[in-house]
Amino acid sequence: MMEYNYNHVIQGKKSTIVFIHGAGGGIEQWSSQVKFFQKQGFKTLAINLPGHGKSPRLEKISIEKYSKAITTLVSDLQISSLVLVGHSMGGGIVQQLAINGRLKIHAIVLIGTGAKLNVAPTIIEMISNTFNEAMNFLGQYAYSNNIDLKIIEKNERLIRSNGKEILLADFEACKNFDQRTEISRITCPTLIICGENDQMTPVKFSTYLHEHIKNSRLEIIPSGGHFIFQEKPDEVNKIILNFLSSIPAIGK
């Protein structure tokens, strides 16, 4: 079973917010969101995808296989009222889950992601052959100029601990992800958040999602980068809370 942090003893709202990290990431990236939404009365479930942290690896990695693993975990935990929050690759997984309809999802939040997740072949080649150079390269494009260096260091330690092979497999999964013909099937309330200066998944990716998901709301955060939920957690948390508060099925 996947490694997870599930706080379900909170007395408050019925809904559980599930946090799904991006390529090479992990549970700890969501610490600000987990603490905030627990204080708001939400149950929270932060997941380490297969091969990340202490979660056992899959024989072959894909967005679809990650989605199936989450479906199994949520079913095993008997969670019935779901809000899914995904960043980057995690946002792709959330889209997949919302499209396949196997879970009862009340709302989704897509952060720094797209209906198609482009990965340049040079990045995959760089990760394969010169991992340290790849880490430096990704660091230059993943964050805004005014980011706290501690966040960069934290994420780099996390990616390195998961290992080169996992990062490479995650990026391959992203490269093969394309739901542009399917996202119009998403019908649940959808919040799309993007940093204005996100170079990994630019604003046009989020705009495309907004234009093709009927019941969606788009929030572009000024001066934000790809890891906007870590860079500006207070602002992101407030946006998500306001969104969830507007949905009758959540928080009762």
Share of the chain above pLDDT 90, in %: 81
Domains of the chain in start order, with CATH, are 4-245 (3.40.50.1820)
Whole-structure pTM value:
0.96
Q: Is the pLDDT of residue 226 over 60?
A: yes
Write down the pLDDT at residue 80. 84
Q: Is the pLDDT of residue 90 over 60?
A: yes
Amino acid at 200: M
- Kindly report, residue by residue over 172-207, the tens digit of the pLDDT: 999 999 999 999 999 999 999 999 999 999 999 999
pLDDT band at 251 (very low <50, low <70, confident <90, very high): low
Quote the distance between the C-alpha of residue 219 and its chain's center.
16
Write down the pLDDT at residue 10. 73
Which structure tokens are listed for 190? 């959808």
Write down the pLDDT at residue 129. 92
- Kindly report, residue by residue over 17-38, the tens digit of the pLDDT: 999 999 999 999 999 999 999 9
